Amino acid sequence: GNSVTQMEGPVTLSEEAFLTINCTYTATGYPSLFWYVQYPGEGLQLLLKATKADDKGSNKGFEATYRKETTSFHLEKGSVQVSDSAVYFCALRRFSGGATNKLIFGTGTLLAVQP
C-alpha cells in the first residue's frame, strides 16, 4: 500500500544551522508529495508541494525535490530560525480510482531551534 516514512525526531539545531528532514515514500504510480508544518497549538498548514518527478517545491526558504529514482522528498533549509520550531509532516496523495484522493501522512518530525 501507499505509505510515508520520515526521520524520527526530535531534531535540535542552533539558529542558522542547515536543516535536512528525510522523507521516503512507497506508492504505485505518480503521487503528489507535500510537506505540512504544524506550529504549537495550531492545525497543519501546507509548506510546499511537488506534483511530478524532479519538481522542486519551495517556500519560506524551505525546499524539497521530488526524486522518483530514490522515492524521496527530503526537506531542506539553509539557515533555520527559532521561528521554524514546529512539527513537520511529509505526505503523499495518490488518486485511487473511485475513492477520494486521500492524504497519507508520515509520523511527523519535531524541529526545535535554539537561539
Contact residues: another protein, CB under 8 A: 32, 34, 41-46, 49, 51, 89, 93-95, 99-108
Least distance (Å) between residue 108 CB and another protein: 5
Residue 22 CB, nearest distance to another protein (Å)? 15
Q: Which residues does 97 contact at the CB level (< 8 Å), separation at least 6?
A: none
Minimum distance of another protein from residue 79's CB (angstroms): 26
Which of 55/63 has CB closer to another protein?
A: 55
Assign residue 38 a region (left: φ > 0; alpha: ψ between -120 and 50; beta: otherwise). Answer: beta
Q: How far is the CB of 7 from another protein (least distance, A)?
A: 13
Q: Residue 60 or 102: which CB sits closer to another protein?
A: 102
- C-beta closer to another protein: residue 17 or 55: 55
Q: Single out the residue of 48, 45, 43 nearest to residue 21, CA to CA.
A: 48
* Residue closer to another protein (CB basis): 14 or 101: 101
Distances in Å between the Cα of 98 and the Cα atoms of 10, 30, 86, 94, 101 are 38, 17, 35, 12, 9
Contact status, residue 55 vs residue 48, Cβ threshold 8 Å: no
